[in-house]
């Protein structure tokens, strides 16, 4: 390596270290308050148990995550169910679980093998359990606003304006 090349590399290393040091120094006094875990449920223990049985029976965990648990060996782009009750109302959830073709309620571009199956064949009691449990899955208001902002910006390509 020539002397000029060594000098260029040295200048680059010093520049990077300096920039990182300046950034670290600027942020050294700043601390951000941890807002805590945004997810919670309003479900009773009985509803949680009945819903867990149904979710396990229908292998929902193969595609969906709930409380950050999911089978990551299967790469299916299904949404997390955390907070679903904060983003959907009870009637919408009941209609979705009762639909013969759920994609009529919530259109998707997923390949047919990854599309949500119909639960129209389930008993009314099981559909009510799923509806009530999904509606009980809530998120804190601050997290809901952040999520709606990200969804809006992703879908529209526009900046979120909270007052609109």
Tell me which of 122 and 62 has the higher pLDDT. 122
pLDDT digits 0-9 by tens, 104-132: 998 888 888 888 899 999 999 999 999 99
| pLDDT for residue 7 | 80
Tell me the average pLDDT across 76-105. 90
Per residue in 132-164, pLDDT tens? Answer: 999 999 989 888 888 888 888 887 888 877 655
Give me the phi and psi of 35, to 5 degrees please.
-75, -10
- Nearest alpha-carbon partner for 119 in 94, 97, 90: 97
- Residue found by looking up tokens 């599309």 in the block: 115
- Backbone φ and ψ of 137, nearest 5°: -80, 110
DSSP state of 66: B
Longest CA–CA separation in the chain, Å: 80
Number of C-alpha atoms within 13 angstroms, CB side, residue 90? 5
What ranges do the domains of the chain cover? 39-139
Is pLDDT above 80 for 71? Answer: no
Instruction: Give the pTM.
Output: 0.70
User: CATH classification of 39-139, choosing from 1.10.760.10, 3.90.190.20, 1.10.3470.10, 3.40.50.300?
Assistant: 1.10.760.10
């Amino acid at each position: 390596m020539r002397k000029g090349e060594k000098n260029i590399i040295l200048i680059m290393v010093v520049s990077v270290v300096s920039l990182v040091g300046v950034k670290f120094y600027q942020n050294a006094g700043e601390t951000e308050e941890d807002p805590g875990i945004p997810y919670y449920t309003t479900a009773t223990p009985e509803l949680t148990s009945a819903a867990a049985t149904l979710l396990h029976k229908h292998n929902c965990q193969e595609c969906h995550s709930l409380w950050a648990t999911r089978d990551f060996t299967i790469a299916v782009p299904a949404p997390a169910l955390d907070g679903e009750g904060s983003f959907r109302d009870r009637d919408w959830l009941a209609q979705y679980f009762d639909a013969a073709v759920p994609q009529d309620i919530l259109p998707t571009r997923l390949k047919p093998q990854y599309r949500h199956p119909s639960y129209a064949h389930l008993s009314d009691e099981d559909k009510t359990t799923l509806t009530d449990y999904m509606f009980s899955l809530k998120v804190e208001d601050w997290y809901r606003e952040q999520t709606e902002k990200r969804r809006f910006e992703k879908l529209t390509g526009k900046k979120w304006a909270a007052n609109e």
